[in-house]
């Protein structure tokens, strides 16, 4: 059977980023206001078209660097703690509904990026503005700041990314990706509370995380940045899977 290029419509591949961080004890996502059609003026997830000379991971890492200034951790290279500037980056899912982009047939390979408390973002590319927004505001818009749903199918992509983060911190050490290189148990607990949207008992949480093999490693230092008595500092241990898992409370 001969191949006829004219029989196929224009086709493009993009990467979209669900960039999550914890700011002021709230799980926030990076949103950009589109400066060009389609959906000009609407908020959207950051992302862009994949270039000819890059693979999907390279494209996602490039977009992450352009939007946040963060370099992605290379999962093939074990990180030596403490690690300062960087973000956890993993492929989330592929989205290919024929009508998701009015310009042409566009398939998006979405990626999830997690990092500690990040500074105010800068707009880049075709974005007119960028901001951190609580995920609930983006998923359930109301009020003048967010008066329309996210552009394209980005609300669904964001919801999938948030659920991925919520489920993975149950059985993996991914929650430490939201923390600085050295952190307290209280700071880690607030990450779980922000991601899950629940309040946790401090004593039970401390017992669970310090009793889980390979989860946390004491650094030998303390800090008073939370106020009160000095709190012990930890760093992420070598465990990638938690046994027993940190089960999400039923709400």
- Give the separation between CA 17 and CA 67, rounded to whole angstroms: 10
- Give the separation between CA 117 and CA 46, rounded to whole angstroms: 18
State the CB neighbour count (10 A cutoff) for residue 171: 15
- 239 burial type by CB count under 10 A (0-12 exposed, 13-18 middle, 19+ buried): middle
By the 8 A CB rule, do 180 and 94 touch? no
The two beta strands, 43-44 and 26-34, are antiparallel
- Give the separation between CA 112 and CA 160, rounded to whole angstroms: 9
The partner residues of 27 in beta bridges, in order of sequence, read: 22
- 38 burial type by CB count under 10 A (0-12 exposed, 13-18 middle, 19+ buried): exposed
66, 90, 129, 137: the catalytic one is: 129
Give the Å distances, CA to CA, from 207 to 12, 183, 189, 199, 219. 50, 16, 11, 16, 18
129 is catalytic: yes
Hey, which residues are catalytic here?
A: 129
């Amino acid at each position: 059977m001969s191949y006829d290029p004219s029989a196929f419509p224009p086709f493009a591949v993009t990467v979209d980023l669900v960039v999550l961080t914890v700011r002021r004890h709230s799980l926030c996502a990076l949103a950009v206001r589109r400066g060009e059609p389609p959906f000009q003026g609407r908020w959207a997830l950051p992302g862009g078209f994949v270039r000819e000379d890059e693979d999907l991971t390279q494209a996602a890492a490039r977009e992450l660097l352009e939007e946040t200034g963060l370099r992605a951790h290379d999962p093939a290279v074990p990180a030596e703690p403490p690690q300062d500037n960087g973000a956890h980056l993993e492929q989330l899912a592929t989205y290919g509904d024929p009508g998701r982009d009015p310009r042409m047939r566009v398939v998006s390979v979405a990626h999830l990026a997690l990092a500690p408390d990040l500074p105010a973002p800068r707009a880049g590319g075709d974005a007119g503005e960028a901001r951190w927004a609580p995920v609930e505001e983006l998923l359930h818009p109301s009020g003048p700041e967010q008066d329309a749903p996210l552009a394209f199918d980005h609300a669904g992509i964001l919801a999938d990314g948030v659920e991925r983060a919520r489920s993975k911190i149950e059985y993996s050490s991914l929650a430490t990706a939201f923390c600085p290189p050295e952190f307290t148990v209280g700071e880690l607990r607030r990450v779980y509370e922000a991601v899950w949207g629940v309040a946790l008992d401090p004593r039970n949480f401390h017992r669970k995380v310090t009793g889980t093999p390979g989860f946390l490693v004491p650094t030998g230092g303390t800090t008073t940045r939370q106020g009160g008595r000095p709190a012990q500092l930890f760093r992420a241990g070598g465990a990638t899977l938690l046994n027993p898992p940190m089960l999400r409370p039923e709400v």
